[in-house]
Structure 1
Amino acid sequence: MSDQTSETSRMRGLMLVAGREIRVRGLSKANIVSMIVTVVIVGILAALPSFLGGDDADEKIGLAGTGADAMQTQLDAMGGFDVTLFDSAAEAERAAEDGDVEAAVADGRVYSENGLDSAVQNQLDSAWQAASVQTNLGDAGLTDAQIAGALTVQPLESVTFGDDSGTDSITGYFTGLVISIIMFMMLMTPVQYIAMGVVEEKSSRIVEILLTSLKPWQLLGGKVIGLGVISLVNLVAMVAVGLGVASATGMLSDLPPGTASAAVSSIGWWLIAFALFGTLAGGVGSLVSRQEESGSVLTPLIMSLTLSYLGAIFLLNAPTSTFAVVLSIVPPFSGIAMPTRMAIAEVPAWQIGLSGVLLALAAAGALALGSQLYKRSVLYTGSRMKISEALRRAA
């Protein structure tokens, strides 16, 4: 019973510290405003491709005369056309002249008010030729099944000799870029907050008071959990808004296969990466006693995050290259690189599993190292302590 009471007491202390971080930082006006602004920006970025895509309304085409039915079949198969059948060529011509349709095709002629776009003109020409062949075959006595067989042609099979490792489209590249930026920012900001919070408590000597009733691991763990919850809420809001806007604008179906699942799974990758960087930030932050010195101990972590982000940007152009594969598997770079790569290309399941296991092991190692650094140096005052010196100190 006493062991259970002790365990409950320890967890209560951990949650008290986490709750304090959530109230002080998460519910602050600055954080709420920042979250709203960030979510709005993500929504705008998610809608941007649909705005840049231009007007995708179907072309209004009028048809009349011989072969009109056959040509309608061809245009319907092509897609992108709103076809209207007229009883006579004169009616179709009048509709084009009045602007009721962009163009009218009747008896071998195309009627339009100001000419047609070359792409539309070529499509109409192709449809007219295919319809004419179909009509001629029917006049020659072939059955519908024979005509269908004669007109059925297998499309060309694409064979490339180069490395087809780029993204499928500008939309895919843009999506991967947004995911990498969000992952980078949502790791960089809380990591810095954790280190600065540790230094602030240490320089003000408030940590000495807190440690009279709390254990070092409760202080560090509560700070990491509290700031993690705040950042997680922000990240979930961004992913939800991004996918929601993409779905509402019809862009979700245009994204590379697996993009939506990659965006959702990025939350899991972020949690593991945050555990890795967050605990290390708390540990190295305890090595210094002044805010001016925090930058020097945070530099290796910031450099690792920056290199992870830059590597993710590189793999946008070559997601299946050897460099991209290694970067998305080896921690800590995989925390950003793997969800970015998953958003733009099909990644083998074994690579995803291996990357997740290695990142989790690295996070466990970081947790052990960060907690020991914090435990051994948080009460030390004076000049910056080296990591080796901190590990040699008695716990």
Structure 2
Amino acid sequence: MTSSPPDSPEAPDSPCSPGSPGAPGSTTPVPGAAGPGDDAPSGAQGAHALGLREEIMLVAGRELRVLLLRRSSIVSMIIVLVLTVGGILTTSAVIGGGQGPYRVGVHGAEPRVVAGLDRVVDSRGEPVEAVALAGVEPAAALQEDAPEGSAVDMVLDLSGTRPVLLVRGRADETVVSGITALARQAALSEQIASLGGDPARVSSTLTKATPTVEVLDADARDSAELPARYAILMVMDLLVMLALMGGGQVIAMGVVQEKSSRIVEILLACVRPASLLAGKTIGVGIAVVVSLGGIGVAGALAAAATDLLSPTTVRLDAIVLAMLVWMVVGHAIYAVTFAAAASLVSRREDLRAVTMPLVALMTIAYTLTIVMALGDPDQPVLRALSYLPPLAPFMMPGRLVLGASSWADQLIALVIALAFLPALVRVAAEVYTRAVTRMGARVPLREALGALGSSESTSAER
């Protein structure tokens, strides 16, 4: 889990080395530091001999030491992982212990056939309970209001010339495989005994003995997975929300703290403004993805090991991979935006006003995923909104969980987001650079963007 930025701008948390120009406690003048009235800092002129990459890694390392590598952060992360895995194991034990055996009703067969089904097991590895349906129609035994003692999960109908398995919703594939093997073995034994083992006739008999699955209620089959898919969606979206919201707030608080204490002027004597912004984004991003993404991976492994989400065809490994990718992309989108917004103010009291639109945008994206889960995720409006870069980190993995998105859709949305990022980063970096050293009253966004427009005009004239 990530922690809040340090309250004290001491040397261990500063990229500048102790004793270097501009380092905390140093009496050496700070060359190139911008004053409160300057529009933009010149950026580490004469005080550093580092390249852009080294500056970024220096700042990113500082953020990682503060947020992830402290003993308190490591201990809290371990505790959360243990609680997550332990909670899943406990839930699986409680739910699994309360489930009854998988009941298979047999229609149109002798009692010896019913007795042979005790060798078949379900997906949990538990033996099925075979029930002879006497005087009860197969379809009636599958209904919720079936007569007492005759309610079953599956019916093996042997009254016709070919075995048929009837299910109301989704069939347990393990049970289907077991019954298929049992039916083939019985047919093979009978054919060999009566015909002397003619290969052609034995093969034909085995083919006819393979039961077909007929779903009586397609809607029930589709809805059988909804609880598991909804649970996956809620957990995944919560982790994405915590990662993006938490990472953005950590960066915003750090920017305002450094600005209000004027330590940003010392930092900018050591690194360029763009390096400071990039380092913060990368460092905080690694911290939140490792901590929250690790929780998601551990939870998925525990759920898969305990078969907690059965029945479902959702591939948890693919879902977790998509979540991690969109978590990284979403952090890049929102982190630079939070940093640019926070650079407009100098007091923590003003931070909420400038970050509220971003929080509202995340809340809208989170709400839309719930709307998809409760409604039709293939609605044209929801489908179009899911391709928008600010909404895609929430909606695209959600559509994948709900089975409403292909990997091609995910790739298209990812390409759009990656194409959108450079322009967003450029605007955010310019706003951050021009506003981060301006103390006092809040810098109007229009003024910061106006300065960006004037710089573009100057570059065009040159």
Q: TM-score, normalised by structure 1?
A: 0.75
Over 3 Å counting, the alpha-carbon distance change for 1:274 and 1:57 in structure 2 is: same
| Aligned with residue 78 of structure 2, among 36, 40, 49 | 36
2:251 counterpart residue number: 194
Secondary structure of the residue aligned to 2:307 is coil
| Aligned with residue 380 of structure 2, among 288, 299, 322 | 322
- CA distance, structure 1, for counterparts of residue 79 and residue 101 of structure 2: 36
Contact kept in structure 2, 1:22 and 1:226, CA below 8 Å: yes
Q: Does 1:72 align with 2:130?
A: no
Q: Does 1:276 align with 2:333?
A: yes
Q: Does 1:25 align with 2:67?
A: yes
Q: What percent of counterpart residues are identical?
A: 26
Written as runs of structure 1 = structure 2, the 5 A alignment for 1:266-345 is 266-317=323-374, 318-345=376-403
Contact kept in structure 1, 2:248 and 2:335, CA below 8 Å: yes
Aligned-partner residue type, residue 265 of structure 2: E
- CA distance, structure 2, for counterparts of residue 104 and residue 302 of structure 1: 57
Report how far residue 377 of structure 1 moved: 0.8
- CA distance, structure 2, for counterparts of residue 267 and residue 70 of structure 1: 50
2:55 counterpart residue number: 13
| Aligned with residue 231 of structure 1, among 283, 288, 293 | 288
Over 3 Å counting, the alpha-carbon distance change for 1:119 and 1:264 in structure 2 is: farther
2:8 counterpart residue number: none
Over 3 Å counting, the alpha-carbon distance change for 1:240 and 1:330 in structure 2 is: same
**What is the root-mean-square deviation in Å for CA atoms of aligned residues?**
4.1
Written as runs of structure 1 = structure 2, the 5 A alignment for 1:2-151 is 9-44=51-86, 46-47=88-89, 48=91, 51-56=94-99, 58=101, 67-74=110-117, 79=122, 82=127, 121-123=150-152
Secondary structure of the residue aligned to 2:377 is coil
Bigger Cα displacement from structure 2, 207-216 vs 318-327: 318-327
- CA distance, structure 1, for counterparts of residue 311 and residue 448 of structure 2: 53
Contact kept in structure 1, 2:400 and 2:406, CA below 8 Å: no
Bigger Cα displacement from structure 2, 37-46 vs 150-159: 150-159
Contact kept in structure 2, 1:74 and 1:130, CA below 8 Å: no
Report how far residue 120 of structure 1 moved: 6.2
Contact kept in structure 2, 1:276 and 1:363, CA below 8 Å: yes
Q: Does 1:390 align with 2:433?
A: no
Contact kept in structure 1, 2:377 and 2:404, CA below 8 Å: no
Higher helix share: 1
Bigger Cα displacement from structure 2, 245-254 vs 352-361: 245-254
- CA distance, structure 1, for counterparts of residue 231 and residue 433 of structure 2: 43
Report how far residue 168 of structure 1 moved: 2.5
1:77-122 Cα shifts (integer Å, max 9, x gaps): 6858748xxxxxxxxxxxxxxxxxx9998x99xxxxxxxx978644
1:158-200 Cα shifts (integer Å, max 9, x gaps): 686x899868231121111110111111111110010110010
Q: Does 1:178 align with 2:235?
A: yes
